[in-house]
Amino acid sequence: MSWNKLLCNLRELQLSGTLNGGQSFRWEYNKEMDEWTGVFSKTVWKLRQREEFLQYKVIGSLLQSIVQKKNDVEFDNNGVFEGLLKKYFRLDFNLSDYYTKWSEKDDLFKAACKQFYGIRMLAQEPVENLFSFICSQNNHISRISSMVEKLCKHYGEEICEQDGVTYYSFPDVEKLSTPKVESELRQLGFGYRAKFIQKSAAQILEWEGEKWFAGLQDMKYKEARLELMKLCGIGPKVADCICLMSLNHLEALPVDTHVYQIAAQNYLPHLRGKKNVTEKMYSEIGDHFRSLYGDYAGWAHTVLFCADLKKFQQTTDSEDIKPKKRRKKT
DNA sequence: AGCCTACCTGGGTC
DNA sequence: AGACCCAGGTAGG
């Protein structure tokens, strides 16, 4: 099967930072092949970026249109898949213009954006986004990824198999809502998040799932945030992640340990050395970045977040560029 | 309202 | 080797 092409300059989309920067937990990079494999919209994708094009293949899909003609995927469904991909990466958003704007406003951004060009805010699916980020609390990215895969494997639908790997869709809310889910997830190593997942799923189902999510997109950001926080296991930070990543509220700005550190070190020195981020500090930090970057502050913040992640820090041969010194409590 | 702590688990560090 | 600490926080006090 040959690659399909989508016009998109290299500088406009950096796959590694975008797919592996803590937005989605379902993408994997194959170094040998220089390609990314991942799942969204009940479809398994392979992606690679070239100078002028984003190239993609659909490995398998449960979408209606594909079921009829499995062998003619590329031809018949090209439009559908291309549309999905454009939407997922928000390719209609002119990133260069915003990078320029954000750079002018902020030296830290200016420094970060050289290496972290083309970091895009994905337009994810709300259900996957919500449950993935319930898993994210007080947790490492590597473990979050394995938990999300477990959710898919145990509660999602099989999409296809390739090279000995079976790919699953992210489960529907209904599958996660039955009472036994909590104990099953405990068994699978989800810890205290097991209860949050099952309870939230049951609650969302009661609020009529799709309708509820659609309503959240139509609300104002702050309103949607409060509504999300009614769910058990969703606090200020996860609510902001969901607003930003799947509800199209780009001014939402999740304040986690990374962002707190960045803010305290660079902008708000009076917040240094605090044990934990209080509600008050949280909004102060968010408002600071919003006043700095404007309407799409959450997007700009994602670029900074990316630059702060350990795995993207330069690992040159020199020893002295260790990412961050461990802070001792003295 | 604002501050404190327990919480599952696994990987990293000393 | 074994006790730390920490990780994209949150609920409940």
Phi (first) and psi of residue A296, to 5 degrees: -105, 35
The C-alpha atoms of residue A14 and residue A12 are separated, in whole angstroms, by 7
The confidence score (pLDDT) of residue A316 equals 40
Q: Which nucleotide is nearest to A22 (CA to C1')?
A: C8
The C-alpha atoms of residue A68 and residue A55 are separated, in whole angstroms, by 24
The C-alpha atoms of residue A185 and residue A330 are separated, in whole angstroms, by 39
Q: Which nucleotide is nearest to A229 (CA to C1')?
A: C10
Right CATH for A95-115+248-330 from 1.10.1670.10, 3.65.10.10, 3.40.50.2300, 3.30.420.40:
1.10.1670.10
Contact A87, A125 (CB under 8 A): no
The C-alpha atoms of residue A198 and residue A205 are separated, in whole angstroms, by 11
Q: How would you classify residue A209: left for phi > 0, otherwise alpha for psi between -120 and 50, otherwise beta?
A: left
Give the residue from A258, A257, A226 showing the smallest Cα distance to A242: A226
**0.85 exceeded by pTM:** yes
Tell if A231 CB is < 7 Å from nucleic strand C: yes
Per 3-state DSSP, chain A is made up of helix, strand and coil in percentages (nearest 5) of 55, 10, 35
The answer to whether residue A237 is catalytic is yes
Q: Which two tokens stand for residue A114?
A: 């050289």
Longest dimension (CA), chain A: 66
Contact A54, A63 (CB under 8 A): no
Q: Which nucleotide is nearest to A193 (CA to C1')?
A: B8
The confidence score (pLDDT) of residue A314 equals 58
Fold adopted by A4-88: TATA-Binding Protein (3.30.310)
Tell if A328 CB is < 7 Å from nucleic strand B: no
Can you list the residues of chain A whose pLDDT is less than 70?
A: 65-76, 314-330
The confidence score (pLDDT) of residue A203 equals 98
Q: Which nucleotides of B are covered by protein (CB under 7 A)?
A: 2-5, 7-11, 13-14
Right CATH for A124-233 from 3.20.20.80, 1.10.340.30, 2.10.109.10, 1.10.15.40:
1.10.340.30
Tell if A257 CB is < 7 Å from nucleic strand B: no
Please state the domain extents for chain A. Answer: 4-88, 95-115+248-330, 124-233
How far CA A310 is from CA of A20, A258, A305, A327, in Å, comes to 12, 10, 10, 15
The confidence score (pLDDT) of residue A321 equals 30
Question: Residue type at A263?
Answer: A
The confidence score (pLDDT) of residue A38 equals 98
The confidence score (pLDDT) of residue A68 equals 57
